[in-house]
Structure 1
Amino acid sequence: MFKKVFLAVLLLSALAGPLTAQTLKLATYNIRYDNKQDTANAWLRRLPHLAGLIKFQDFDLLGTQEVLRNQLLDLAGALPGYAHVGVGRDDGKEAGEYAPIFYKKAKFELLKQGTFWLSPTPAVPSKGWDAALPRICTWGQFRDRSTGFVFYFFNTHFDHIGVVARRESAKLILAKVQALAGTGAAVLSGDFNVDQRNESYDLVNASGRLKDAYATAALVYAPSGTFNDFDTKTKSDARIDHIFLSPAFTVARYGILTDTYGGGKTPSDHYPVAIEVRYARPK
């Protein structure tokens, strides 16, 4: 009798295994470039608190923006459990801001990676349309070592001036997601420099391919917009930092993390957006 029950349990476990939900903690964070005029909010003052927040939240993957080379090295040193992908936007090597993706190196295997420019010539360093600056999207294809789940993570920073550039950047990224990921699982994070009422946001959110995590989360914690300008008294519902997801993911929780330190200072002039997602374990 015991043997029959044991075999039945094993059979049920085997059948249930492919449907077991797995959880990932993802985030996007504009860390504010190392501006020497930021005396009270200088990078080296902010670094321990920013890195501490990331480690405490225990993100599995994190898209970051406005990261200069020295900041990339500082973060890599402060986050020893993470590896990263990305290049500088000015030359495709080390110059200018990066949009790097940090990921837990013990948890994920990096399969492929790349960066493209948000311009009509995306394969080479370039400035697109009416943009004020060169803009990029960095991506990686990852495999969860424990489940075999494969997904793409795209991370970007849209231009702060060019209206046409933001619109065309949204179209370009959607085309790249389709070309690289096909119908597979995909995440798009970034500072889009537009809120949820803008046409560039709508192009992505209404694409049928990707959906804002905010719109689908079972639990939402959003006490503020995502840009704070180093002023905690700034209150808005404008979310300019977003995480979009393909239907492979179910969003359990969404949060805008308004952590402060030192009597009201913020680790960056943006608040990070953090989400917890679930996906069906592959067969």
Structure 2
Amino acid sequence: MKTPKSFYFSILILIIFISSSPPVIAQSHNLATFNIRWDNPNDTGNLWKDRLPHVIDLIQFHQIDLLGVQEALQHQLTQMSEGLDYKYIGVGRDDGENKGEFSAILYNSKKYQLLDQGTFWLSPTPEKPSKGWDAALNRVSTYGKFADQSGTEFYVFNIHYDHIGQKAREESSKLVLKQIEKINKEKLPVIWMGDFNVTPENPAYTVITTQPQWKDARLISDLSYGPAGTFTGFDWEKLPDGIIDHIFVSGQIQVLRHGILTDNYGKKYPSDHFPVMVEVEF
């Protein structure tokens, strides 16, 4: 039986269509943790009103679409949200509403859909405003469940550990590990970021990295960039020598880039911490 010419024509059209279709490229995501320094009126020379435009510019220049911030007061979040045209989630650590510092997550709502959110306290009573163990202050973790434009779902947890209590920091790591396991029932990829107030040799850090499913993004990144420290104290003459702001990942996540960003303006920094950024693929 002779094959009709229309069959060969159809095959030819199919080949042309396939060869002309653009290749499917995996979507990457720029995320960061950034202690922005609370709006302290005593920060002479580094007032928030002067730093704000540079914080906004930094985030926009590096195309950071999802950001965990620490020490943010509500008006700072409002200003950042408006300047970036981002939404944010989180509550004040003092009353679970608007009082005190937030460990909030800002996100580009044009690229990410928020599916779920919550905040818990880093204490033995995580469900209510409280101070844990030997901590000097209330501390919280805010989390969000997001979907990207391809429909891929993932969690982000943002924390700020206590600056005084060593036991509080260690117990906070144990608590967040349990909370993530409890909340992430679907076993989705997770990014856990923040100001941990500890360097990598501290037990509060190693209790995370000794878990086989958790990796420090800096150590598994295809490319790492930046200095050996993240806290500057606004001191232009001092070279930071300890990384206390970290990003951890769990699940099917490839870390393409990890950077400690030292952007500055006229020998001034946008904050007393350097932001830490990663580019990842799920």
Q: Is the 8 A contact 2:188 2:251 kept in 1?
A: no
Deviates further, 202-211 or 266-275: 202-211
Q: Distance in 2 between matches of 1:52 and 1:11?
A: 41
Q: CA deviation at 1:264?
A: 0.4
1:40/1:167 CA distance change after superposition, 3 Å: same
Tell me the residue number matched to 1:99.
Answer: 103
TM-score by length of 1: 0.92
3-state SS in 2 of match to 1:67: coil
- Residue 138 of structure 2 is matched in structure 1 by 134
Residues 1:9 and 1:67: Cα distance change in structure 2 (over 3 Å): farther
Match of 1:225 in 2: 229
Counterpart code for 2:215:
K
The alpha-carbon deviation at position 181 of structure 1 amounts to 1.3
Change (3 A) 1:9 1:153: farther
Alpha-carbon deviations, 1:12-51, whole Å to 9, x = none?
999x96xx52200010000000111101101101000111
- Alignment correspondent of 2:33: 28
Identity across matched positions, percent? 49
SS state of the match for residue 173, structure 1?
Answer: helix
- Structure number with larger C-alpha Rg: 2
Q: 2:46 aligns with which of 41, 60, 68?
A: 41
Residue 165 of structure 2 aligns with which residue? Answer: 162
1:60 aligns with 2:60: no
Give the aligned partner of residue 268 of structure 2.
Answer: 265
Q: Secondary structure at the match of 2:279?
A: strand
Q: Give 1:4's aligned residue.
A: 11
Structure 1 segment 54-93 matched on structure 2, within 5 A: 54-80=59-85, 82-93=86-97
Q: Structure 1 259/8 Cα, relative in aligned 2: closer, same or farther at 3 Å?
A: same
1: CA distance, partners of 2:78 / 2:204:
32
- How far the C-alpha of 1:5 sits from its partner, in A, is 5.2
C-alpha displacement at 1:69, in angstroms?
1.4
Structure 1 gap segments, 5+ residues each? none
- Report the equivalent of 2:176: 173
Deviation per residue, 1:120-152 (Å, 9 max, x gap): 0000000000000000000000111x2110001
Report what 2:280 is aligned to.
Answer: 277
Q: Do the aligned partners of residues 231 and 7 (structure 1) sit closer, same or farther apart at CA in structure 2, a change above 3 Å counting?
A: same
CA distance in 2, matches of 1:149, 1:218: 22
Q: Give the length in aligned residue pairs.
A: 273
What is the correspondence of 1:102-251 to structure 2 with a 5 Å cutoff? 102-144=106-148, 146-182=149-185, 183-251=187-255
* Residues 223 and 2 of structure 1: CA distance in aligned 2, closer, same or farther (over 3 Å): farther
How many angstroms does 1:78 deviate by?
A: 1.1
CA distance in 2, matches of 1:2, 1:53: 54
**For 2:208, what is the secondary structure of its paired residue?**
helix
Going from structure 1 to structure 2, the CA distance change for 1:264 and 1:208 (only over 3 Å counts) comes to: same
CA–CA distance in 1 between the matches of 2:212 and 2:239? 31
Instruction: Give structure 1 regions of 4+ aligned residues with deviation exceeding 3 angstroms.
Output: 5-14
**Distance verdict in 2 for CA 1:211–1:13, change over 3 Å:** farther
Q: Deviations over 1:208-236 (max 9, x none)?
A: 23211101001110224100010132223
CA RMSD, Structure 1 to Structure 2 (Å): 1.9
| Counterpart in the other structure of 2:3 | none
Question: d(CA) in 2 for partners of 1:264 and 1:190?
Answer: 25
For the residues of structure 2 that align with 1:227 and 1:28, how far apart are their CA atoms? 13
**Structure 2 CA distance for partners of 1:9 and 1:139, relative to 1, 3 Å:** farther
State the SS of the aligned residue for 2:144.
Answer: strand
CA 1:250 to 1:96, structure 2 compared with 1: closer, same or farther past 3 Å? same
Q: After superposition, give the CA deviation of every residue in 1:175-232 in whole Å (9 maximum; x if it has no partner).
A: 1111111421111010000011111111112212321110100111022410001013
Q: CA deviation at 1:246?
A: 1.0
- C-alpha spacing 1:6/1:254, structure 2 compared with 1 (3 Å): farther
State the 1:72 CA deviation. 1.2
Q: Is the 8 A contact 2:120 2:126 kept in 1?
A: yes
